[in-house]
Amino acid sequence: MAEQDSKDGLSRRTFLGRSSAVLAAAASLPVVAAAQQTMDKSKDTHTGVNEQQPGPKNSVLDSAEPDSVWPPTTDAGGQPPFKYPFSYAHKRVEAGGWTRQVTVRDMPISKKMAGVEMRLVSGGIRELHWHVGAEWAFMTAGSARITAVDAKGRGFVEDVHEGDLWIFPGGVPHSIQGLGPDGCQFLLVFNDGNFNEFETFLLTDWLHHTPKEVLAKNFDTPESTFANVPSRELFIFQRDLPRPLEEEKKEVYAATGPVPDSFAFFTDKMKPTKVTAGGSVKIIDQSNFPATNIAAAIVTLKPGGLRELHWHPNDDEWQYYVKGTARMTVFAAGGHARTMDFHPGDVGYIEQSKPHFIENIGDTDLVFLEVFPTPDYQDISLGEWLAHTPSRLVDEHLGTGEDFLRKISKKEVVITPE
């Protein structure tokens, strides 16, 4: 039965879902043709009697998630959700800005990575702190002053702007401060799905929980020096803007010098790794950003553009959507596949080696980030696989004809159309 359904182009689910009234109306046609006609109509308009939803519905959410409301007929099985909007995350608001996070506690599939969105007003400071995992960041608006000190006491101070990146390796203490008239907003990604932004090692919190006599002995100074240490963490607070960058660099680099490899990466100085008619991609990993142990790609798709069918063999992929509207289908083997829609501020997650595509379904450019908890970016595309496999062998699988297979690009396309 399943084989016959496939040959007729009729899915068992769609056929059984049609009411007897619909089939009766097409009694003059063969049963299969009538069912096929009804299936095609409902696929386009979703007006079939088996697609009505007379009960409660969230119209606002449904209109933004059409591929979850009416999934493509190619979707099947129990693939769990691989999306979580930052809009659902609790926002902690402080005098100097706000922050919110998406972790494995919110998105169970996201076992290896977590993300944080943060806003700092002009002069707003994310206080001096550190954490066990590495911190990869992408500036989404404004400008910031970032500082850090490595394990050899070498300093780092830099200003970053919209579109720039930074990396702070695990255990490296650092800070972030909003600059300019309107401060900044940025994304942080951590190579630990269980990361918690509200439980980091904070300077004020540590010193508050250390006896003053110990602090005095440690720094060979009177206890009164620490009389004004806050009684609770500052976390995000506002102060005066920092001194000029070159002045602070001179102060910080005295004696030990700067870190050997900058923790900042300026993407506007980088030529795209790949440009096609459908868009472009910039790949940033340890090959061009030596300080990082987290690889990433900044992908731009023009309307109708497609991030071609592919998978990543070396680790999971954490996504963040910056601009535009997309849909993504993830295939999970065993006949499981699911399609979901993405909007600015959404997080996506694809487990290692699961094939997928991303398509721009809006009328403006789509910009999204691919982030990986590994220093090296790797992917394998469907086209690349088929182009480098004997054409006769592939044709024996797919029946496409060898002429088609020989025309597939020998080089990875990445973004279509070429």
In degrees, rounded to 5, the angle at the alpha carbon of residue 213 between the alpha carbons of residues 208 and 217 is 110
The phi and psi torsions of 198 (rounded to 5 degrees) equal: -95, 10
Q: What single-letter DSSP state applies at residue 258?
A: B
Q: Is 384 annotated as a binding residue?
A: no
Q: Is 356 annotated as a binding residue?
A: yes
> Which strand (E) or helix (H) includes residue 45?
helix 31-45
3-class SS of residue 149: strand
Catalytic, out of 127, 351, 359, 370: 370
Name the residue among 78, 59, 79 with its Cα closest to residue 69: 59
Q: Is 312 annotated as a binding residue?
A: yes
Q: Is 131 annotated as a binding residue?
A: yes
Is 370 among the residues known to form the active site? yes
> What is the DSSP track for 156-214?
EEEEEETT-EEEE-TT--EEEEE-TTT-EEEEEEES-TT--GGG-EEHHHHHHTS-HHH
How many whole angstroms separate alpha carbon 178 and alpha carbon 307?
A: 34
The phi and psi torsions of 402 (rounded to 5 degrees) equal: -70, -25
How many whole angstroms separate alpha carbon 353 and alpha carbon 379?
A: 9
Contact 94, 235 (CB under 8 A): yes
The residues pairing with 94 across neighbouring beta strands, listed in sequence order, are 97
Q: Is 199 annotated as a binding residue?
A: no
Name the residue among 345, 341, 277, 343 with its Cα closest to residue 305: 277
User: How many alpha carbons lie under 13 Å from residue 58 in its C-beta half-sphere?
Assistant: 8
The long-range contacts involving 209-214, CB below 8 angstroms and separated by at least 24 positions, are: none
Q: Is 135 annotated as a binding residue?
A: yes
> Annotated binding site for Mn(2+): which residue ranges?
129, 131, 135, 174, 310, 312, 317, 356
Active centre residues (catalytic): 370
* Binding annotation: 129, 131, 135, 174, 310, 312, 317, 356
